[in-house]
Structure formats: C-alpha cells, structure tokens
Amino acid sequence: MANHVTIYFMMTLVSTIESMTQFVQDDWHATQAILNKDTEQHALHLIQKICHERSKGKQLRSLMVLALGHLFNHCHATHHQLAAIVEVIHQATLLHDDVIDEATTRHNQPTAWSVYGNKASILVGDFMFSQSFRWISQLKDPFIIQSLANATQLIVEGEVEQHQVKGQLNLREATYFKIIEAKTAELFRQTTLLGAYAAGAHQKHQQYAEQFGKQIGIAFQLQDDLLDYVGSETGKSKGQDWSENKVTYPLIMAYAQAPEIIEMYFKEKRPFEDIEPIIQSTRAFQKTQSKIIEYTQSASEALNHLPDHPIKVHLNELINWMQYREF
C-alpha cells in the first residue's frame, strides 16, 4: 500500500509542476536561458558537465518565483533573474550536502561527488554560489541584495547546525524546526516574498506571500523526512536518514515514545529494516503527517489572502500534494 501511495504522490507532484510550468512557459524559457547562458559554453568542461546534470531537477523554487509574479499580474525580467538565482543557490547547497552526507544517489541518479569526486563537487558548488552573487548584484536593488545575502547566510548556518547535532537522539523539536526553517524554508520564503516584491505587491500582500512560502517550505522538508521512512519512489534510498544518523521529525516522535530500544538500535547501527516496524508502532509517521497538515493549512490561509488569479489553482494543488498520505 505504501509504495502504491508514494507513486501516486510523486505523480501528483509531477503533474502539478508540469501544469505550473505550462502556465508560466514563456517566463520559464526566459529563466532557462539565463541558467544555460553561463554554463553551456563554459571553457571549463567540468563546470559545464555538472551544471548541466544539476539542471534536470524539478526547479520548484524557480516556478514559485514566476508564479508569484503572475499572481500579481506583473512577471518580468527581474523575476526571470530571481528564478535563476534561487535555483542556482539551491543546486549549490545540494552539491555540498551530498558531499557532507556521502550520499551516492539523488533522484535515483548518481550524485556529482560519486562520479567526479569531492573536490570537483565542492568547487562547482562554489562556482554556483559565485554565479548567483554576480546575478544578484546585477539587479541593483538593495532590498533584494540584502534579502538574498541574509538568506544565503541563514541557509549555511542551518546546514552547520544540522551537522553539529547529527546523531543526537534527544534533539529538541524546537531545534529541529529552527534548522529546517533555515536550511529549507528560508529559500522558499525568499521565492514568494521576492516574487511578490518584484511584481510591485503592496506591503500586506508581501507579508502574506512571505508567510505562504515559509509554511510551504517547512511542510516540504517534513514531507521529505517522512518519505525517507515510508516511500521508495522519491529519489532517496529508503531509510537513508537512519543510515546516516540524521535525526529528523519522525525519529524525534518515535524516540519520545520508545527511547530505550531506539537508542540501542541507533548505537548498534541496526539496519533500517529492523527499526522501521518499531517507528511505525509509535505512530510517528501519522504524527509527522499531522504536522505537515498543520503547516499546509497555514500556507493555505496565507494564500487565501492573496489576490484571486488562475495561478492559485496550481499553488493550491501544491498544498494538496503535501497533504495526501495514507498509512
């Protein structure tokens, strides 16, 4: 049942992204032109190769920038540049994350470091960060520059703190949410805030747009953590977080109910197949999904305060995608 539901779940995401892409297709193509311009003809073959491979992802964050521009009826060249910027920042963090986590696959494909080595992956990630900084400076907007500079620092701080608390089974729930708000939700928050800002939305609408992105970002990370335990069609190996000693929300919930056995299995590095039924018995998966619903409902409330527009159908589909889950 779980695999069947996961396949449906991912197909729903694919269809939602395809619908959003079609809705903003002219702006999407303009964004792709920016992303490809610096890398397709780059003199350094390694940069060209890795950047091209990284461009095959969902690019959900880019789509959200463009969607907010359309929602306020003013999607233009600044949105295209912003969409490219957030995508490159996101891809740079993934290149670095995969090295830190020693992850050999992402989206069912070999990670860059596993093919080209650690040094190449880190250096190309650095190139992507520098690329984004150059594009940010070209916008010559103090608010955008300051927002994205602060966001980049916060994302890195979140990654550092996650590394710092790795393996701490008694991780506080508040600390977990502080980390994911920084490392994941912050970039989502920027996509919707800056998408609204660049479209000329008034202050109140910018605040609701910002809230929408932040809540979606938190729910997105919770769902990613949940799918690591219950789904096998997500592009992550099932049980990858457990094998890497990552303490995420499902494990925090399970540890609160069965600390002794989970600590024993954790220290003994038991295989995921051994711990899975124990975590399942604590109802940690249902508790995680309830938390996802809590954040998606907050996102929906924020979205309801934004102007009516056909693009909201697709943004609501994104919310519904996150809420669907059976166990």
**Angstrom distance (rounded) from CA 187 to CA 193:** 10
Query: 66-105 burial by CB neighbour count: b if 16+ within 10 A, else e?
Result: bbbbbbbeebeebbbbbbbbbbbbbbbbbbbbbbebebee
**Position of tokens 């609501």?**
316
Across 11-25, 92-106, 119-133, 194-208, which has the greatest mean pLDDT? 194-208
**Position of tokens 């594009």?**
135
**What pLDDT shows up at residue 57?**
67
What's at 252, amino acid-wise?
A: I
**What pLDDT shows up at residue 229?**
93
Q: At what angle do helices 60-71 and 2-23 cross, to 10 degrees?
A: 50
Instruction: Supply the CATH number for residue 30's domain.
Output: 1.10.600.10
pLDDT of 207-248, one tens digit each? 999 999 999 999 999 999 999 998 755 455 688 899 889 999
**Start-to-end Cα distance in the chain:** 8
Could you give the C-alpha distances from 167 to 175, 214, 246, 248, 263, in angstroms and in order? 13, 26, 6, 10, 10
Count of CA atoms in the C-beta half-sphere (13 A) of 217 = 27
Number of domains in the chain: 1
pTM: 0.90
**What pLDDT shows up at residue 69?**
98
DSSP β-bridge partners for residue 105: 110
Could you give the C-alpha distances from 122 to 92, 105, 280, in angstroms and in order? 9, 16, 37
Q: Which domain holds residue 238?
A: 2-323
Across 47-56, 108-117, 210-219, 316-325, which has the greatest mean pLDDT? 210-219
How many CB atoms within 10 Å of residue 133?
17
**Angstrom distance (rounded) from CA 122 to CA 308:** 43
pLDDT of 262-297, one tens digit each? 999 999 999 999 999 999 999 999 999 999 999 999
